[in-house]
Amino acid sequence: MDWFVHVPHRVQKVIKRFPRKDYERILAAMRDFVFDPFTGDIAKIDEKENSWRRRVGNYRIFYNIKTEERVIEITEIERRTSKTY
């Protein structure tokens, strides 16, 4: 059974401003979430329950996993800087 990926409108607007190559890599990573949100270069965010981040090049996809509902909610996508974490 596949997962549902929810990308809020505000996150979609941010993604559209990224360079095309980065945009395509991020979309490919989000497509992978449909099959398994626990693959790739991921890490659990310690402070929050069910919060994760996935590294895609210089970008970080922050998301929450609702296991019972099989929903992945993208909360933010940021370019990695010294202030990202």
pLDDT in tens, 10-54: 999 999 999 999 999 999 999 999 999 999 999 999 887 889 999
State yes or no: pLDDT of 85 exceeds 70: no
pLDDT at 48: 77
pLDDT at 49: 83
CA 26 to chain centre: 8
pLDDT at 81: 75
Q: How far apart are CA 61 and CA 37, in angstroms?
A: 11
Inter-CA distances, 46 with 4, 11, 43, 71, 82, Å: 24, 23, 9, 20, 18
Most confident of 5-14, 38-47, 74-83: 5-14
The answer to whether the predicted template modeling score (pTM) of the entire model surpasses 0.85 is: yes
Going by the DSSP 8-state scheme, the letter that residue 70 receives in this structure is T
Domains by residue range for the chain, with CATH: 4-79 (3.30.2310.20)
